[in-house]
Amino acid sequence: MEGHYKTLQTIYTITEEDPNPETYKCRPREIILRQYQSWTTIEKHLRMLKDEGLITIMQEDTVVIFITKEGIKKINEEKKLNWKMDL
């Protein structure tokens, strides 16, 4: 899995327990606490994910990140692919 997709996986992990993961306001600090990468790298990943339509980024009192339906679909596809590779 490419680096930016690992960041997407982190966002998915943060949001997956919410009844509506697409409306969960993920804050940058939540991602930073779960990844061992610099903020510069995470920021680059977020831009790439946004360009692919897998997340949206909004400015409120701080930056908030939302996973999109396409982002959830991508993670589920990656999970299936990894599961098949493990067999």
In this structure, is residue 49 part of a structural domain? yes
What pTM, to 2 d.p., does this model score?
0.88
* In-domain check, residue 67: yes
Say if 57 falls within a structural domain: yes
Domain range for 47 is 24-86
DSSP character at residue 16: T
Asked if residue 11 belongs to a domain, the reply is: no
Measured distance CA(80)–CA(8) in Å, rounded: 16
User: Whose CA is closest to 13, among 85, 61, 78?
Assistant: 78
- Residue 4 within any structural domain of the chain: no
17 within domain boundaries: no
Domain count along the chain:
1
The answer as to whether 55 is a domain residue is: yes
Residue 70 lies in a domain: yes
pLDDT attached to residue 78:
83
What would the pLDDT profile of 26-83 be if each residue is shown by its tens digit?
999 999 999 989 999 999 999 999 999 999 999 999 999 999 999 999 999 887 777 6
pLDDT tops 60 at residue 86: no
